[in-house]
Amino acid sequence: MTTTGTNRIRFEGDLSAPDPIPEQGIDAAVDLMRDGRLFRYGEDRGSIPEAALLEEEFAAYMDMKYCVGLNSGGCALYIALKSAGVEHGDKVLLNAFTLAPVPGAIDHAGGQAVLVDIDERFVIDIDDLDRKATESGAKYLMLSYMRGHIPDMDRLMAVCKKHDLIVIEDCAHTMGAGWDGRLTGTFGDVACFSTQTFKHVNSGEGGLLVTNNEDIAARAILRSGSYMLYAQHRARPEMAVFDKYRASTPNCSMRMSGLVASILRPQLQELDERNRKWRHMYDVLAPMIDAIDHLSMPVRPAREGFVPSSLQFMISGIDDDRTARFLSEADAHGVHVKWFGAETPIGFTSRHDHWAYLPEKGQVPNADTVLHGLCDLRLPLWLSDEDCRVLADVLAEAMAASAETA
C-alpha cells in the first residue's frame, strides 16, 4: 500500500480502521435480532443464552472456573474491585502507565489510586511496588498490562505474596498473552478483559471477568445485574454461594447483552490465530523501527509471550519541536503515530499527570521520562510484510525530514 510523489513514500492503508466481524458472528447477531431476545436473561427461555455460552467458553479457554460477561472493560474493572472487597477510601496500587478507564474504575469503586513507577520495559517497577506497598499500607494491586507489556510475573507475585496483596489483573491488552507459558489473567485473584473495538476481539464495547474465587464470582454476577436469574449462568459457583450475598449486593446493571456475546463467540475461536498474526507483524516491523535514528524498541524477554495488537517505541535525542515535526511528517504520509509526551491528551494518550482527580500523585520519575518519549502505532490484522516495510520507510523518511525543516 504505497504511492510515491516528490520522492516520498506514502502509506495508503487506514491504521484506525477496526478489524471486521467474521461472517459467523454477523450471522449469529442477525439470527438473535430476528429472535428478539437480546437481553441475556429470560424467564421462559428454553435455549442456552449466548452470554452464558460465551462465559463458559472463555472460562475454558482461560482454564478458570468462573467467568462473567460485562458491558465494558471498565465496568469489569469496577465490578472486580468491588467484588474483591474494595471499600470507600481503600488504597489501590496502580502502575503509572495505563489508560484512563483504569484509575477511573478505582475512583468509581471508591478507592484511592497509589501510583507505582514503571521501568524501561514500560511495565510496573517491582522494586517501587515493594516500597509503595510498605509506605501506603495498600492491600490491593490493580496490575495493568498496558499495551500488552508483561512484567516478570515470578518476581511480581513474590512481592504481592510478601505484602498479602489482592491482585486484580487488567488484561485489556493481553487476551491470550502470557508469561513463561502461563496466561495473563491466571496469576491474581481476579482478572478483567476488554472487547472494545481495538482489542483482540471486537464487539464495540464489552468486558469479561474471570476468577477461581467463588465468592468474588458470585458477587460479580449479582453486582453485574442478574436479578434472581443467576442460575442461567454456566461458568458460575454453586447456588448456595449466592445465598450469602444476594441480599447485600447491589444490582449495578452492567451485564453483557446477548447480542454482544453472539458477535464475540466466533472471534474467540480465532483468537490464537489472530495472536499468531500479530506476533509475526511485530517480528517484521520492530527491527526496522529500531534501526531508525532516534527511535528504539523496548527489550522483550523470551519468557514474555506478548500479543502486540499495537507497537510502542521510544523517541530520544531530539527536542519536542523536532518530535512534533516528525509526527506531522509521518501523519502527512499516511502513518498516524500516537505520542504520550504531548502536553494535552489526545485520543488514547492520556497519562497520570492529566488525571487531576487522583487524590495523591506520588513520585514516579521514570514513568515521567518514559512517557515523554513514548509513541504508539496500531497494528491492524490485515497488515502484510510489505505494509510493514512501507510503515517503517515512512517513519524513517519522516525522521529525516524533521531535521531538514528545523
Which of these ranges, 20-24, 113-117, 330-334, 339-343, has the smallest mean pLDDT? Answer: 339-343
Domain match, 109 and 130 both: yes
User: Would residue 7 count as lying in a domain?
Assistant: no
Domain match, 144 and 202 both: yes
Total domains, the chain: 2
**Alpha carbon of 314 to those of 299, 302, 341: distances in Å?**
11, 20, 10
Domain match, 196 and 319 both: no
Q: Of 218, 251, 267, at which residue does a domain stop? A: 267
Q: Of 267, 295, 314, at which residue does a domain stop? A: 267
Going by the DSSP 8-state scheme, the letter that residue 367 receives in this structure is: H
Write the pLDDT tens digit of every residue in 16-40: 888 899 999 999 999 999 999 899 9
Going by the DSSP 8-state scheme, the letter that residue 96 receives in this structure is: S
pLDDT at 191 over 50: yes
Cell readout for 213 is 474465587
pTM of the model: 0.95
Q: Of 267, 301, 336, at which residue does a domain stop? A: 267
pLDDT at 396 over 60: yes
Write the pLDDT tens digit of every residue in 127-136: 999 999 999 9
- Could you tell me what percent of the chain has a pLDDT over 70? 97
Best CA proximity match to 220, nearest among 94, 48, 54, 78: 78
Domain match, 355 and 250 both: no
Domain match, 255 and 291 both: no
The dihedral over CA atoms of 256, 379, 315, 345, expressed in degrees to the nearest 10, equals -30
Amino acid 45: pLDDT: 62
Q: Provide the residue range defining the domain that includes 381.
A: 271-404
Domain match, 299 and 235 both: no
Best CA proximity match to 207, nearest among 170, 251, 166: 170
Cα angle at 353 between 351 and 358, to 5 degrees? 105
Cell readout for 305 is 509471550
Q: What radius of gyration, in Å, describes the C-alpha atoms of the chain?
A: 22
Cell readout for 231 is 442460575
Sheet containing strand 304-305, edge to edge, reads 182-183, 178-179, 304-305
The rounded Cα 197 to chain-centroid distance in angstroms is 11
Domain match, 255 and 282 both: no
